[in-house]
Amino acid sequence: MSLSRFKNQLEKEFSELMNSLSIKFDYMEMCVDRDNIYGVLLRLRDEYGFDMLSDLTCVDFLKDRDVFEIIYNLYSMNTHMRIIVKTEVSEKKAEIASVVGIYKSANWYEREVYDMFGVVFSKHPNMRRILMYEGFEGFPLRKDFKATNRQPQVGPVEYIKPCGIDGGESLDRLKEKLVIKRD
């Protein structure tokens, strides 16, 4: 099915849910509101066969407008088609629904976005830092984080036996210590 015909079909189906749809090079780009993202991704996966979430990242726009733009890269393994879904989250209230129920691979991607930008994904089973050490203050990839920021060293931490991806006893103990800070 050619790209422009697929685009017309998507425009008819998703007309009330999305903001805009455009063709860029050989993939499509869709802009959606923050509250509709779960429904749009569920329909794209079930009805149109985009069964793989290749990537979930975030862009910080500090100069023009105060938003974080969250980008979902979807890929269909049968038809080899890509679609990129973008949403915008305001910086004052950086919260969005988690898509772990739709794509399991979103688990670590969303932890990385939280760790680097501070966007909280609600209903995520394991919302804590993944790349930086526990006790790190700040979110490094934001545009207003100084590149030469220095933090004090951490001492030896106590060894906690790791648990599975959905949580466990050691995770509850960690959650008492870690508080999700937002400003």
Partner 1 sequence: MGLETIFGDSFLTTKISEIAAWGRKNSLFPLPFGTACCGIEFMATMAANFDQSRFGAEVIRFSPRQSDLLIVAGTINHKMIPVLRRIYDQMLEPKYVIAMGACASTGGCYDNYAVVQGIDTVLPVDIYIPGCPPRPEAVLDAVVQLQKKIEKMSVLEKSEKNVTK
CA 84/CA 55 separation, integer angstroms = 10
| Residues at the interface with partner 1 (CB under 8 A) | 131-133, 136, 138, 140, 145, 147-151, 153-157
For partner 1, the closer CB: 78 or 149? 149
Choice between 124 and 142, CB closer to partner 1: 142
Q: Are 123 and 99 in contact (CB under 8 A)?
A: no
**In the complex, least distance from residue 153 CB atom to partner 1, rounded to whole angstroms:** 6
The smaller minimum CB distance to partner 1, of residues 5 and 146, is found at 146
Backbone angles phi, psi at 155, to 5 degrees: -85, -175
How far is residue 125's CA from residue 183's CA, in Å, rounded to a whole number? 22
State both tokens at 137. 């203050």
Q: Which is nearer to partner 1, 147 or 179 (CB)?
A: 147
What tokens were used for 179? 């508080």
Sheet containing 52-61: which strands, arranged edge to edge? 18-24, 27-32, 82-90, 67-75, 52-61
How far apart are CB 151 and partner 1 at their closest, in Å?
Answer: 7
